[in-house]
A and B are shown apart, each in its own frame.
Chain A
């Protein structure tokens, strides 16, 4: 089992819809969870992080964490074409000296 798993997509949603991106992780001891956005040909940039169970909202973005089920989600409300990118989930792993382990990313396409 991979340490951090994401559906590679592409996930296609119409403009204005809610995009839901999911990530599962294997290390039950993980305490922090990060979502990075990466535009094609660019470097990743942090958009959200979450430490506690439940929801964390920042503008149009909501991160949801369920430690019991070992998954973290990212919801993007009112999706815009400019949200089209690859979204990477990252979790610190004890198998990597508590360094971040990245999932393979989910490619999101928002169609006008």
Chain B
């Protein structure tokens, strides 16, 4: 099992550009999450999904969009990148909202 995979590992964007962060899991988990982590800070929930076709906003959703067409994939879309979106992005999955979350390796994004 690969667990949770994320691509790319690093990316530099110019202000106003758009991109999609990819996330996939092979554990057949229904729950998937996107977090951002700023330097020296904890994790902030951006969006989550409780199953294919069902997504909901987390604590900091502005500037982002998600979709969940399959159980395995949960891409995060950044539209019109801003310097405030410079962060490390983690994707995670879990069997339920009460169970252990498994994290991907993260994507380090810089917007200049």
Contacts and interface: CB of A to CB of B under 8 A. Distances in A.
Interface string B17-50: 0000000000000000101000011111100100
Instruction: Tell me what chain B mostly uses at the interface: helix, strand, loop, or mixed.
Output: loop
Interface residues of A, number: 24
Contacts, number: 53
A98 interface: yes
A96 B45 contact: yes
- For the side of the interface on B, what is the size category? 20 to 34
A96 B42 contact: no
25 contacts: A4-B42, A31-B98, A42-B106, A43-B103, A43-B105, A44-B43, A44-B101, A46-B100, A46-B101, A49-B100, A88-B43, A92-B98, A96-B58, A97-B48, A99-B33, A99-B45, A99-B48, A99-B58, A100-B45, A100-B97, A101-B59, A102-B35, A102-B44, A104-B40, A104-B42
A60 B68 CA distance: 40
